[in-house]
Chains A and B, each alone.
Chain A
């Protein structure tokens, strides 16, 4: 058996995930070559993939393509290509990487990516994405529909907001009928929503297993791996099957007391996406201290389900609208984001919070200085604030990042030692 590095997930789920994602790219390649199945570009957060599933259409997630490039150390070339035609250095690097890919004809796997039949901008929380998808539509000549999803300023969305989104979703249905030439299959839609609800339940149960000590998986680094199938296959039986297997594997780990490390020393909550161009380096900085993420806000970008929300096959349109309006972290207001972190720290029994500020994502990162103050001063929980980027390798300074992380754990370690001594 080959030697397994300590920071690698030990189990079969990651391989199954790779196979599923490869299959997705193969379907996209097929769509590029033959024109079928139909495809639509979507953004991850608060997506309405269930509608596509009802038409047998396959989602294209430009963010997944961008991060796949970054993790393969290939994001700088398309970023520079986008900057050459006028995108500013501080524009969202996901946008630049994606636009640069169109300009350069680059794809993460080397296979073909289809021209989307529909560019469906499910804008939630990030208005940069509106421009991104508008530019994508211009570059590809594809049809564009921009869903207008009101930002969640209150605790819950109003009925008017839900009705407003549902009306738009029904317009998308009409649009998809004309694009695909197929009549909307309500039963298939309901079934897709049912699959989503089941996947959400399974994913939620997996996340709750991280409350245990040791946690059977890293709810940041390992969760990211599981997030691919979560977005692409959520509304499908394959997704349900995958997450059933994942939950079973996690339970086996729990039963045998297997954690991420031989000894879990620190339990963390992480806010913000990782620096994908240095994913492995970044992970190893935490592994060195045997620090395991037990919860992460980034893993709720696609959907926030660990606190009970689910899609509802009895009210499919309304539940898709609710998901878009309130059950994803990017459309939620800061006080809700504070509460989410607070619950993770308390209920998942974490020692500290790591905030990764993303340079090229001002929308999501703005306010994280206040978040740091809230967590350190109001909750009294140690917090580390580090800055780089999720896609642009030029923003990552390894020595400085390592220094901050080492200093944080030196401090945390001392706090634990003195707490024990008292």
Chain B
């Protein structure tokens, strides 16, 4: 059995996917761990857990591609690729008609224009600012004392969403406190927060051609309120896979399989990129 893996070390969570190619490509297992302070350890844990779930030994994995901000810290990885390439390829794997990816992660928001073969045609990312990212939502949830998993569903109940003028992750707290002091309902405040992020993200995303199908990826895609707000501002539906959070790791695993096939010869794979000898 030909097995490869992708490990996506994000700013908040680390994801690993083990994939096989047996007639067609399929996902054998996924794993998700908090990244925490020890990036190297998080990558290792996610990989080992994914292998365990797949019922295989790590040594059976023929090739590992690392992605995400911590990709160069993956000691056992054979190659590294940016999450931009991996999200495009991963989105193409779960939804081959994808032509645009909107990825919202812990500290990044990006829009990627994708070719018919899953390759990146163009991309834009947020500036060095957490507006429009998962961190913005987490801050809003914190200040309201609501769990991060609850903010999305709650925002859907908004009837009179407030206007959140700032897109600053720090200053949004004072906006929220001010609305709370005015007696505004939590769902209306959250409705405003989600809408503010959606508008901010789309003003960025519009710099690439927003061609359908649009696939949303990243941890924030699990937030139904955010998906709803983005679709409302976009005026169209998006593809949201149950694997949205794993798309980067899936893309990395697809690249890893391609390398095993030797069908993708590129300097991305040149030796100085390989920080470990593999297995």
Contacts and interface: CB of A to CB of B under 8 A. Distances in A.
Interface of A: 265, 289-290, 369, 372-373, 376, 382, 385, 387, 395, 397, 399-400, 403-404, 406-407, 410-411, 413-415, 417-418
A376 B207 CA distance: 10
Task: Tell which of A385, A403, A410, A418 has the most Cβ of chain B within 10 Å.
Answer: A410
B81 interface: yes
A407 B122 contact: no
B261 to A, nearest CB: 15
Interface in B116-136: 117, 119-125, 127-128
B85 interface: yes
A403 B68 CA distance: 9
Task: Tell which of A397, A407, A415 has the most Cβ of chain B within 10 Å.
Answer: A407
A372 B119 contact: no
A413 B266 contact: yes
Majority SS of interface residues in chain A?
A: helix
A161 B268 CA distance: 53
Given A387-B127, A407-B85, A414-B266, 8 more contacts: A290-B267, A373-B207, A382-B122, A385-B124, A397-B128, A400-B125, A414-B120, A418-B119
Given A406-B82, A407-B123, A372 B128 contact: no
Given A407-B84, A411-B119, A265 B207 contact: no
Nearest to B11: A399
Contacts of A403: 69, 82-84, 125
Contacts of B268: 410, 413
B212 to A, nearest CB: 18
Interface in B147-190: none
A376 B128 contact: no
Contacts of A413: 266-268
Given A265-B267, A418-B119, A404 B125 contact: yes
Nearest to B117: A418
A369 B207 CA distance: 9
A411 to B, nearest CB: 4
B123 A417 contact: no
Contact of B122 (A376, A400, A414): A376
Given A265-B267, A410-B120, A413-B266, A400 B128 contact: yes
B152 to A, nearest CB: 27
Given A413-B267, A417-B266, A387 B82 contact: no
A258 to B, nearest CB: 21
A399 B10 CA distance: 12
A408 to B, nearest CB: 8
Contacts of B267: 265, 289-290, 413
A228 to B, nearest CB: 30
B85 A411 contact: yes
Interface in B214-259: none
Contact of B120 (A265, A373, A387, A411): A411
A58 B128 CA distance: 41
11 contacts: A376-B122, A385-B124, A387-B127, A403-B69, A407-B82, A407-B120, A411-B85, A411-B122, A411-B123, A413-B267, A414-B119
B84 A410 contact: yes
Nearest to B110: A407
A407 to B, nearest CB: 4
Contacts of B85: 407, 410-411
Contacts of A400: 125, 128
B122 to A, nearest CB: 6
